[in-house]
Structure 1
Amino acid sequence: MRGWLRRRFDAAYERVLRREISGAPAHVAVIQDGNRRYARERGDDPSDGHHAGAETTERVLDWCADLGVAELTLYAFSTENFERPPAERERLFDLLETKLREFADAERVHEQGVRIRAIGETRRLPERVRDAIDYAERRTAGYDGFALNVALAYGGRAELLGAARDVARAVEAGDLDPADVDVAEIEERLHDDPVRDVDLIVRTGGDERTSNFLPWHANGNEAAVFFCAPYWPAFSKVDFLRAIRTYESREASWQRAKAERALALVRAFGSVEVREARDVLARLREYVPDGAEVDVETDGESRAD
């Protein structure tokens, strides 16, 4: 009875959340934490928790397709994970190999045009996992409907350090002028193919930290962050929708803040001739959210409706 009531409540809450959400972030990045704790609390082996987490990953792919998310990055294996006990690490490698090949062969992956690619220091992984990565990337290389990035042997600091070293080598060789080092040059050296800026980071398992995950793409874009208590295997669609709602709320707040700053700048020109003030305002239009109207009165005062 309790389980039935819970399902009814979740279904109702899901409908409420869907009505509150008007769109979706383009790029969601997920830190899938809590697989081992989930298994431990049930008296299971850690590998059982990882298998349960893999099932959640498949559901999240469907939720992204349903909501219109264009890119998903999963933190599947960090550089710190190499420190885990050898037996557990090998079972993780087995699971990664199996799931990469399953995803590459799944009908829905091909129906939805999902492109799979790995990011990270993949050369550090066992050959069987590297072969599975190559298989998945080759099988889906021609698709552009949805981007699924799997972070394997990944560490954000190592990623930035590698890009910095690449730039230094190019400068030393005379192939790159230091004055030409810009955002585009760094991004080109982070990945073989571009990764969108991250709009939303989701972390399960109760910890409130981003664990060195996509620092360039998330911190540089001031991504919204959603922390939640459920372990990854227990992460539900309601949790996912709550994360999307957090992103939308943050975006609305950020747009309001930009509009307020723009209006403050316009008001600072109150003593300037109206024509000049209007010229300034025209250059600030990009900071005003859709639906807001800003005008400059003939006495030099501004108003927003």
Structure 2
Amino acid sequence: MFGWVRRGFRRAYERVLDREIDDGPTHVAIIQDGNRRYARKNGDDAPDGHKAGAQTTEDVLTWCEELGIEELTLYTFSTENFDRPEHERGPLFDLIEDKLYEFADSERVHDREVAVRAIGEVHLLPDRVRDAVEYAESRTADYDGFTLNIALAYGGRAELLGAARDVCRAVERGDLSPDEVDVSAVDRRLSRKPVRDVDLIIRPGGDERTSNFLPWHANGNEAAVYFCAPYWPEFSKVDFLRGIRTYESREQSWQRTRTERAVTLVRAVAEVELEDARTVAGRLREQLPSSGADEVSAELAKRTDETAD
């Protein structure tokens, strides 16, 4: 009876959280942590935990579809994971291989036009996993309905170092001038395929760190981060919705700060030169949400009236 009550309460809470969410993130990245600890807690071996976590991955794809999220990146195997013993790595590689082929042949993936892509130092993976990556990517290469990035043999620091070296080599060859080294020049060299900026990073499992995950795409975009206690196989839709709510709260606060700064800037410029203030206000309105643009316009109108008086 109590199990039924708990399930009913959880479903009701999901509906409450659903109603609280407005414009969610475009790109969510998840560190799939806690599979091995979940297995130990249940008296199982590590591969059993990874298999249980794979089902959570399937659920998250459904939740992304329901919420209109356009891109999902899953931290599946880091460069540090190569240090794990072979009896753990082998079954994990088997699972990754199987899931890549499963995704590539899934009707759901093709109906929704999901592009499956691997990011990271894929060349370090076993041949069979690289073959599965190539199969999944080639089968979904023309799709743009949703993007699923699988981070394999991935390390954020290594990715940044690789991009820096590529930029240096391009400058040395004369293919790129120092003045042309900008954000887009680095972006093009970061991943095997382009990855848009990350809006929200979620990490289950209890650890409050981002573990070298997408530093360029997350930090540069000031991504929100949500940490929660459940191990990845236990991660629920309620946990996911809480993460989305964290993103929205942070986004609202960030937009409020941007608006306040914009109004202050218009006020300061108007004290010196009203015409310059009009130019600045026009540019700022293009970068702010409608409510913020209205506040900038109101401040400019106030300063114009004061000047007229």
- Check conservation: 2:117, 2:136, Cα contact below 8 A: yes
Q: Which residue pairs with 2:10 in the alignment?
A: 10
Equivalent position SS for 1:75: strand
Q: Which residue pairs with 2:26 in the alignment?
A: 26
Tell me by how many angstroms 1:84 deviates: 0.5
Q: 1:65-100 CA distances to partner (integer Å, 9 max, x unpaired)? A: 111000000000000000011111111111111111
- Check conservation: 1:14, 1:238, Cα contact below 8 A: yes
Tell me by how many angstroms 1:289 deviates: 2.8
Structure 2 residue 79 is the aligned partner of structure 1 residue 88: no
Equivalent position SS for 1:185: helix
- Check conservation: 2:33, 2:205, Cα contact below 8 A: yes
Structure 1 unpaired stretches of 5+:
none
- Check conservation: 1:274, 1:299, Cα contact below 8 A: no
Equivalent position SS for 1:229: coil
Equivalent position SS for 1:193: coil
Equivalences for residues 1-305 of structure 1 within 5 A: 1-272=1-272, 274-292=274-292, 293-294=294-295, 295=298, 296=300, 297=302, 298-299=305-306
Tell me by how many angstroms 1:271 deviates: 3.2
Tell me by how many angstroms 1:31 deviates: 0.1
Structure 2 letter corresponding to 1:118: A
Structure 2 letter corresponding to 1:266: V
Tell me by how many angstroms 1:276 deviates: 4.0
- Check conservation: 1:155, 1:212, Cα contact below 8 A: yes
- Check conservation: 2:270, 2:276, Cα contact below 8 A: no
Tell me by how many angstroms 1:269 deviates: 3.5
Q: Compute the TM-score of the two structures, normalised by the length of structure 2.
A: 0.94
- Check conservation: 1:26, 1:69, Cα contact below 8 A: yes
Equivalent position SS for 2:90: helix
Structure 2 unpaired stretches of 5+:
none
1: CA distance, partners of 2:256 / 2:223? 16
Q: Which segment drifts farther, 191-200 or 93-102? A: 191-200
Structure 1 letter corresponding to 2:235: F
Structure 2 letter corresponding to 1:165: R
Structure 1 letter corresponding to 2:185: E
Equivalent position SS for 2:61: helix
Structure 1 letter corresponding to 2:67: L
Tell me by how many angstroms 1:277 deviates: 3.1
1: CA distance, partners of 2:64 / 2:234? 17
2: CA distance, partners of 1:275 / 1:227? 47
Equivalent position SS for 2:136: helix
Q: CA RMSD in A?
A: 1.4
Equivalent position SS for 2:230: coil
Structure 2 letter corresponding to 1:217: H
- Higher share of residues assigned helix: 2
Structure 2 letter corresponding to 1:125: L
Q: Which segment drifts farther, 75-84 or 288-297? A: 288-297
Q: 1:12-63 CA distances to partner (integer Å, 9 max, x unpaired)? A: 0000001100122110000000000111011011111000000000010011
Q: How many residues align?
A: 301
Tell me by how many angstroms 1:122 deviates: 0.8
Q: 1:159-212 CA distances to partner (integer Å, 9 max, x unpaired)? A: 011111111111111211111111111111112331110000000101000000
Q: Compute the TM-score of the two structures, normalised by the length of structure 1.
A: 0.95
- The runs of at least 4 aligned residues of structure 1 exceeding 6 Å deviation read none
1: CA distance, partners of 2:20 / 2:220? 28
Tell me by how many angstroms 1:266 deviates: 1.9
Structure 2 letter corresponding to 1:14: E
